[in-house]
A and B are shown apart, each in its own frame.
Chain A
Amino acid sequence: MVEERFVQGNEACALGAIAANCRFFAGYPITPSTEIAEQMSILLPKYGGSFVQMEDEIGSAGAIIGASWSGMKAMTATSGPGISLMQENIGYGFITETPIVIINVQRGSPSTGQPTMSAQADMMQVRWGSHGDYEPIALAPSSVQEFFDFTIKAFNLAEEYRVPVTVLADEVVGHMREKLIIPDKVDIVARKRPEKVNGQYLPFDAPEDGTTPMPAFGDGFNIHVTGLTHDERGYPDTNDPDTHNELVERLCNKVLMRRKDICSVKKENCDDADIVIVSCGSPYCSVGAAMKKAREEGIKVGSLKIDTPWPFPEEEIAEIAKTASDIIVPEMNLGQLVHEVERAAHGEANVHLIGKIGGILHKPDEIYDKIKEING
């Protein structure tokens, strides 16, 4: 039965995780993500799952990687300071191709910054936070419903590509309450398990469709999981440049080659637009009113909302830049995603940042004022 609830974004996230069959949560509660841990601690025992309050975020990321290799769908939730601590293990997740979901409810930064205030401070940390070359997947919700939907999608993408996936929320979407519609059935991607017998199965080879099946500890396969550069058996092979090349390029390409399948944007009024507002996450909430007000005055304004900041929707931005003269990027930071927009626009449109820090979401008029300034 379809269920309707009036809940906070953070609660919707926990409900989405349960719906996606997440049965393991390890975390260290941190504002403004705490309600996710709280809800998971209430829900998981009811579904036969496990909740572990860890000693810190380093341990949390390690625990969910271990749980994933034990066959569980596993998640953690944190905010900027916790994400910083998790970076080493997140890199380990990438090189060992471990499906995990990390929820980052962003707050004012750097360091412990503003615990109770909103920000989009970690847009680039998700992309480059851990050392080395890798291609992350991240989803940014702008409503309570999206926080639920994107959490499910994050689990599905994690399984499909065998990668850590981040849901990049923020304090605004984490704490606001809205109606959430929980469908009676959600599409879930089950983990692909090896069909071959032990001895023939290679846990890190490169099949045609990109993702190698993954066994669980205890399934009877002799496998080795390491953060060192490894061959297709998982055995360390750290001095051969070819092994490293093949491994890291495959890790990147399995996401990059299918970028079009992963990238998701929502376009409104873009066809005739001279000015397009490119937003991601909560700032999208302020776009609609600004666009409407400008349209009423005859200014042709459109909106492109980025659901997946990573991999970055390059083609979609390039396409917009060809038809629009100006692109406005409202961000709750001093300019992060705007650099990607500029890069993708190839100088074909003028890119304007509305960077805002301090913890308060842009007001629609702040975007409208920029539209007026550009329109002259």
Chain B
Amino acid sequence: MRTEVRIAGFGGQGVIMAGVIIGKAASLFDNKNAVQTQSYGPEARGGASRTEVVIDDEEIDYPKVTSPDILVAMSHEALIKYMGDLKDEGVLIIDPDMIVEEEIVDFVKEHKIKLYRAPATKTATEDVGLRIVANIVMIGAIVKVTEVVSVDAAKQAILDSVPKGTEDKNIQAFEAGYALL
């Protein structure tokens, strides 16, 4: 079955890295097919940044997301920009500290969206002690809610992607995220 995931935030939050890790987990460690793409603009930090991952047991032809099954939003601007084509009854995971929730109440109700709140930035800062691992915390939450990749595959992909010497912090971040929901 084809699953389309979109993760959005502002540049610098590591959302693209999160997409790469999920794609890598599915492709190399869960033995499924995966394609990862990303918004690609002149902005390096700030502005809306977006990554998309398509995961399928079968071969993937079309590499882009048309209407995501899963949308993850780590900033309000990105949420508003990218939530429009989320599938009805789709999964929406937000970082509540980064989002003005009142603005999406109607959308969630109207489209029967399954809304989850994962305070990834706060958890990264306060529990792990490292704000920059918020993206890895969010991967933990995504895996828990959606099972889009297995826990083992996610951990292996994290270890395969993060700089040497930061493995423990990142696994800790993943587990903290997994425990959030």
Contacts and interface: CB of A to CB of B under 8 A. Distances in A.
Interface of A: 4-6, 32, 115-116, 171-172, 175-179, 284-289, 361, 363-364
21 contacts: A6-B20, A6-B27, A6-B28, A6-B34, A6-B36, A175-B37, A176-B63, A177-B20, A177-B23, A177-B24, A177-B36, A177-B37, A178-B34, A178-B35, A179-B27, A287-B61, A288-B61, A361-B63, A363-B66, A364-B61, A364-B62
Contacts of B35: 176-178
Interface string B53-79: 000000001111010000000000000
B40 A32 contact: yes
Contacts of B41: 116
Interface in B16-56: 20, 23-24, 27-28, 33-38, 40-42
B23 to A, nearest CB: 6
B36 A286 contact: no
Nearest to A174: B40
A115 B42 CA distance: 9
A176 B24 CA distance: 12
- Pick the most buried of B23, B27, B40, B63: most chain A CB atoms within 10 A of its CB: B63
A366 to B, nearest CB: 11
Contacts of A32: 40
B33 A179 contact: yes
Interface SS of A by simple majority? mixed
A43 to B, nearest CB: 19
Given A6-B27, A179-B28, A361 B40 contact: no
Nearest to B66: A363
A32 B41 CA distance: 11
Contacts of A287: 61
A288 B62 contact: yes
B62 A176 contact: no
Given A176-B35, A179-B34, 4 more contacts: A4-B28, A178-B36, A179-B27, A286-B61
Nearest to A115: B42
Contact of A361 (B33, B34, B64): B64
Given A175-B40, A177-B36, A6 B24 contact: yes
Query: Chain B: interface residue count, which band?
Result: 10 to 19
B63 A285 contact: yes
A177 B157 CA distance: 14
B101 to A, nearest CB: 31
A192 B38 CA distance: 43
A177 B35 CA distance: 6
A116 B42 contact: yes
Contacts of B37: 172, 175-177
B22 to A, nearest CB: 10
A289 B37 CA distance: 18
Contact of B62 (A115, A116, A178, A285): A285
B63 to A, nearest CB: 5
A134 B158 CA distance: 50
- Pick the most buried of A179, A284, A286, A361: most chain B CB atoms within 10 A of its CB: A179
Contacts of B34: 6, 178-179
A288 B33 CA distance: 16
A307 B33 CA distance: 22
B42 A178 contact: no
Given A116-B41, A177-B20, A289 B27 contact: no
A6 B24 CA distance: 6
A32 B36 CA distance: 16
A172 B42 CA distance: 16
A161 B140 CA distance: 53
Contacts of B24: 6, 177
Contacts of B23: 6, 177
Contacts of B66: 363
Nearest to B41: A116
Contacts of B40: 32, 116, 171, 175
A286 B66 CA distance: 12
User: Which 9 interchain pairs have the tightest Cβ spacing?
Assistant: A288-B61, A6-B24, A177-B36, A179-B27, A176-B37, A116-B40, A6-B27, A176-B63, A178-B35
A117 B63 CA distance: 15
Contacts of A179: 27-28, 33-34
Contacts of B42: 115-116
Contacts of A363: 62, 64, 66
Given A6-B34, A116-B40, A178-B34, A289 B28 contact: no
A287 B64 CA distance: 13
B39 to A, nearest CB: 9
